[in-house]
Chains A and B, each alone.
Chain A
């Protein structure tokens, strides 16, 4: 399906946040008495996204992801700091920014349920100045792109959660925005639907060159993004590619090789000769069975070197397994370490 490229002019930094902070004043109730308190949702968040980049803002509930997205989408005003979309300030030039962003807000109720999918797209397309044939054509093209062509004229209330989320995505794309802001777009969607949605996002990014910021609490899902912003208690703890985070934290992939060997004294020096690839190779024996295990940044190369080592020592490789590191483990380690730093 050819949805078409964004005809928008290009900016090098499509999304930029500098020291962005947000505090909410809220009431605390104790019986009949109440008092005002301040809740900090964001603390000095700084990052940027280049043109065509796909960025996942990931963190547990309450980490400030949605607050960040709502500030970028002009729905919230920051308490401190500034943010820009395509080089324009989201506070002082909000009207201009709104034309450049496509937004999917968390709730599946952000659509008119008593209208059909097609009617929803027609309505929202009008808000962006589309009309006539172009409006209809784009609505149908997007319904086809998100797999809702058959359900185009059904009322949204009859859609499944996944269908509603896909319709919300189509709506966000109606005006071909250069920046897409998606808040938990996969919430409430089953694993299969989530995978389809992620694939769809990749296809759209490849086809349109849109810059995409997606918030999610699903760490596994975020691993599929080239760059992540790891949020915890309102702070961006890490911004960059997941691989860079694993490297910084010293979390490597685990390579496990099962082998059969007669002579441990010959196998050990050969198998442990991985040079710069790994810090350590652990070897355990059970009769003729040897298990070699190492953590490294380049698991494929390390596996090849281990296999070569086993063979050079006259052994036979039985199996090879590579376990890649997870963002969840990295996140927990990062939180633990930052907590220790804070305590010290």
Chain B
């Protein structure tokens, strides 16, 4: 167990070193997420939306970015290492590909926290006061766990389908809209509301919006429970799918190619 933890941390350290060696990417992460989501909030502000509504949109966008980072970092972990040329060798070391996913998950959490911190600063610069409290932190952790489990499932799909990156952006955008990134899912058509009910981000955003106002976890216990139940369902499914994908890659000889 200690060995696995060390391997995960070593891989996380590798991710950090890589980022440190591409410093421009850190600058990009500090600025560009806000440039993408900022206009949504600004439009709301311009049309005289209430402060509560502005914060609601901001919170939805911040959580959507968490999904986005987990989705790309964990979901596309294998493709990224393959492009680096090391996926084959990582598949034959005892640490295994599971450690790689765990490290990528931690890396995504670090990067998402970094982006969130800068987003809050940017929102404040543009006079949108996103208040922070401990209840939000708990919702964030639950959301991250559920989104992480969802990303593991996606990593299996990517390894199976290989060309999943072609629909990666589309999936990310669709998930954002279906989860109520900028509006309440109650505005969606009925069928899409059913789809939204299967997405962890839907409950994460709803819970986060509520605790931002109430500062109280009791008001969101049902959403947190749903988040954790979804994580509990998705993680074993993701691990099973990954097992199938890895076995198939070993049969087809495609572990080192995408």
B-binding residues in A (CB < 8 A): 24-25, 67, 70, 73-77, 95, 98-99, 101, 103, 105, 107, 109-115, 119, 122-124, 126-129, 131, 155
B135 to chain A, nearest CB (A): 37
B6, B14, B17: the one contacting A131 at CB < 8 Å is: B6
Instruction: Contact check, A103 vs B89: say whether CB atoms are below 8 A apart.
Output: yes
Q: How many pairs, one residue from A and one from B, have CB atoms within 8 Å of each other in the complex?
A: 82
Q: How far is the CB of A193 from chain B (nearest CB, A)?
A: 20
Question: Can you list 22 A-B pairs with a CB-CB distance of less than 8 A?
Answer: A24-B252, A70-B253, A73-B92, A74-B92, A75-B88, A76-B251, A95-B96, A98-B93, A101-B92, A103-B89, A109-B86, A112-B18, A112-B84, A114-B17, A114-B21, A123-B10, A124-B93, A126-B6, A127-B7, A128-B94, A131-B6, A155-B21
**CB-defined contacts of A76 to chain B, threshold 8 Å:** 250-251, 253, 255
Chain B residue nearest to A109 (CB atoms) is: B85
Q: Indicate whether A115 sits within 8 Å of B17 (C-beta atoms), given known contacts A76-B250, A123-B11, A126-B7.
A: yes
B88 and A110 form a contact (CB under 8 A): yes
Give the contacting residue for A112; candidates B7, B14, B247, B255; CB below 8 A.
B14
Name B's A-contacting residues (CB within 8 A). 3, 6-7, 10-11, 13-14, 17-18, 21-22, 84-86, 88-89, 91-96, 99, 247, 250-253, 255-256
Say yes or no: A77-B247 contact (C-beta < 8 A), given A107-B85, A127-B10, A129-B3: yes
- Report the nearest A residue to B247, measured CB to CB: A77
Bound CA span A109–B87, Å:
10
A214–B54 Cα distance when bound, in Å, is 64
Residues of A near B11 (CB, < 8 A) are 123
Chain A residues with CB under 8 Å of B255's CB are 75-76
CB-CB under 8 A from A124, the residues of chain B are 93
User: In the complex, A191→B90 CA distance in Å?
Assistant: 30
Query: How far does the alpha carbon of A91 sit from the alpha carbon of B33 in the complex, in Å?
Result: 45
Q: List the A side residues contacting B93 at CB < 8 Å.
A: 98, 124, 127-128
Known contacts being A99-B94, A103-B89, A112-B86, is A25 close to B252, with CB within 8 Å? yes
Per the bound structure, the CA–CA distance linking A13 and B180 in Å amounts to: 62
Least CB separation from A104: chain B residue: B89
Chain B residues in 8 Å Cβ range of A67: 253
A325 and B11 alpha carbons, distance in the complex (Å): 50
Contact A115 B14 (CB under 8 A): yes
From B7, B89, B99, B247, give the contact of A110 (CB < 8 A): B89
